Structure 1
Amino acid sequence: MKIVLIGGSGFVGTHLIDRLLEIPGIDVLNIDKNNSEKYPELTRIGNVMDWQTLAHHSKGGNVAVLLAAEHRDDVSPTSLYYDINVEGMRNTLKAMDANGIKRLIFTSSVAVYGLDKDNPNETAAIDPFNDYGKSKWQAEQVLNVWYRNHPDWDISIIRPTVIFGEGNRGNVYNLLKQIAGGQFMMIGKGNNKKSMSYIGNIVTFIAFLIEKKTIGYEIYNYADQPDFTTKDLVRHTGEILGKKIPTARIPYWLGMMGGYGFDTLAFITRKKLNISSVRVKKFCATTQFDVGKVQASGFVPPFTLKEGLKRMLEMEFSNANNRQDTTNR
């Protein structure tokens, strides 16, 4: 079986290649606009905006996994979300159709539900609050229309929560870095629950779907259980690293004021900053999602959420690694 990853040079794609190469009888090809640092020999340069290049490189494939996306909070212009996430979907389907590939796994996002929802399942109302979520939902709609006209295809949509793990440099990494460095200050009370996905589990679930070999159209929320509150995440981080975490808190309204201040600074300097009003809002929001469908599928994640957190923290922020980083510098 030949698996074609589209946009697999980044964090999730690299871990997914690691996992797929462990499965006998599977060949992997990665198509990305950037070369893979770890797997350059498996990578061909191609862009989701160019369906002909996608079609050329994906010949002989059996399953496509679409990972390519614009996902940062501060992408400018916002039209890039729709160019990459929506038009990229159309181009991927066109390339697959040209090569007779009828199996697709698409990583969407729980951002399609919006913020502070009441534990939504896959049938819940769609209410994205930003352009990223809106573009992911539009990509799903493109895929839904395609499936209605191609009912013999096997399409799986995964809506993961925030993904963290070794090698990630996203919002979770920045938060853990602040905690590990003693620079963290809680915004709000910290009782909001945060569904999270450990990279070792999400890529194993993708591999599970590849091997499942069913025909149909399925949507899965993905998060690892049980959900942590923000206070839980901070406490576990302190315990794993053996650090005393500051207990100071600031009110939510003050945190948002600070976020708007950083928005203004980013606009004036034309620089992308790690703090923004959107990130403060997301940090304080409840992002909890129903994952009963994944649990009913028979999938068993190889790691608990706390084990995943421990693996990331020990690799990224352990004293041994910190000493090594200092020595290297």
Structure 2
Amino acid sequence: MDNVLTSADRVLVLGASGFVGSHLAPMFAGLGVEFVRFDLFEGPHDGAPTTIGDVRDVDALIEAMAGCTAVLNLAAAHHDFGISTATFESVNVGGARAVCAAMDHHGITNLCFYSSVAVYGEQDAPPSESATPAPVNDYGRSKLAAEAVYREWERSAPGRRALIIRPAVVFGPRNFANVYRLIHQIDRRRFLSAGDGANRKSMCYVTNVVDAIGHLWAAPPQVAAGQDEVYNYVDKPDLTSREVVSAVYAALGRREPGLRIPLAPALWAAKPFDLIAAATGRNLPITSARIHKLANAETSFLADRVAATGFEPSVTLPEGLEAMVRWYLDVGREATPVVHLPPAEVARRTDGTS
């Protein structure tokens, strides 16, 4: 069946050296699908080669896509610190245009795009895929614009498929973002719970979202005719921030303190760190925005559409948090996170060409 991923396919994975990309191999192996890697830098792939290139470089993409039948685009400017609006636009939106041009060159008609629930912005109720996106930051706006590029590409010729996945916060081994920071702060006894912790936090464990990509891509589109093939991905049920914190304490084998400080004083106490971050440009682990995000922000999303396809995640959120803490204790505690920010302009190829 056209554009259903099978063992006859060869997939080019853009952004393969990132966190999610580093977890793809078992999913593709389970489907019997060959894949090749493309990124700005080498990743933790146990010696498997990576084609070094920039997602905005059409010539590099054309070269890398030779012999491929499908494309998975994980490449993105996504950090919430140190990236300009122009770079978000050039990488996420300009990159989408470059990918479409390269696919057209080779006649590739099968794409999966890894987007984000950030496209919804701040909604009054947990949004489903039918909610009107209203992004509030550069990342969400550029991801939404990239989705539009891919939809236009899909509709411009018959027989094309653009599968779009919008995951919530993804965590797991080899991730050094917010969940890692929480584990690290609790482990170092530098964490105090603020507020009542009743706010819900939609999350997903990395192998679950990767398996969901394989499940959806290996089946025909399961949306109504004329409907965009877009899926939120969230591991349900949501946990509250208090439940997340309690799960981390339990996985660390530590007793959770009973003391919780009111939210307002915690936010005021973080103001000096906000000033330091603004003055130095450093991405500090403690800021009022981070405290608000964990202790007060309600970030819940619906994922009924993917559940209706019959997909069942293999790891629960508490099990995922426990697995990440085990990785942290074994490896991550001593690891030095490497932040790879995209260049402002198209990166030069390793052979000296652009």
**Above 0.5 in TM-score?**
yes
The letter for the 2-side match of 1:121 is S
Q: Percent identity?
A: 37
Match of 2:302 in 1: 290
**Structure 1: 5+ residue runs without aligned partners?**
none
Distance 1:242 1:29, change over 3 A: same
What TM-score, normalized to structure 2?
0.84
CA contact (8 A) 1:32 1:46 kept: yes
Greater relative contact order (Cα < 8 A, sep 6+):
2
**Hey, what's the Cα distance between the residues in 2 that align with 1:238 and 1:66?**
35
**Hey, what's the Cα distance between the residues in 2 that align with 1:186 and 1:123?**
35
Q: SS where residue 157 of structure 1 aligns?
A: strand
2:22 is the alignment partner of 1:14: yes
Match of 1:58 in 2: 65
What TM-score, normalized to structure 1?
0.91
Instruction: State the 1:151 CA deviation.
Output: 4.0
Distance 1:253 1:145, change over 3 A: farther
CA contact (8 A) 1:161 1:197 kept: yes
Match of 2:339 in 1: none
In the alignment, which of 315, 318, 333 is matched to residue 306 of structure 1? 318
Distance 1:276 1:96, change over 3 A: farther
Which is helix-richer, 1 or 2?
Answer: 1
Match of 2:230 in 1: 219
**Structure 2: 5+ residue runs without aligned partners?**
1-8, 336-354
Instruction: State the 1:278 CA deviation.
Output: 3.6
Match of 1:262 in 2: 273
Instruction: State the 1:213 CA deviation.
Output: 4.3
The letter for the 1-side match of 2:48 is E
Match of 1:73 in 2: 80
In the alignment, which of 87, 102, 112 is matched to residue 105 of structure 1? 112
Distance 1:175 1:82, change over 3 A: same
Match of 1:41 in 2: 48
Query: What is the CA RMSD across the aligned residues, in angstroms?
Result: 2.1
> What per-residue deviation string (whole Å, max 9, x for no partner) do you get for residues 143-171 of structure 1?
22222223421111111000000111111
Within 5 Å, give how 1:80-229 maps onto structure 2: 80-115=87-122, 117-214=124-221, 217-229=228-240
In the alignment, which of 288, 292, 313 is matched to residue 281 of structure 1? 292
Deviates more, 1:49-58 or 1:140-149: 140-149
Instruction: State the 1:61 CA deviation.
Output: 1.1
Instruction: State the 1:52 CA deviation.
Output: 1.1
> What per-residue deviation string (whole Å, max 9, x for no partner) do you get for residues 188-231 of structure 1?
22100001000110111111123214498400000101110011
Instruction: State the 1:16 CA deviation.
Output: 1.1
CA contact (8 A) 1:156 1:218 kept: yes
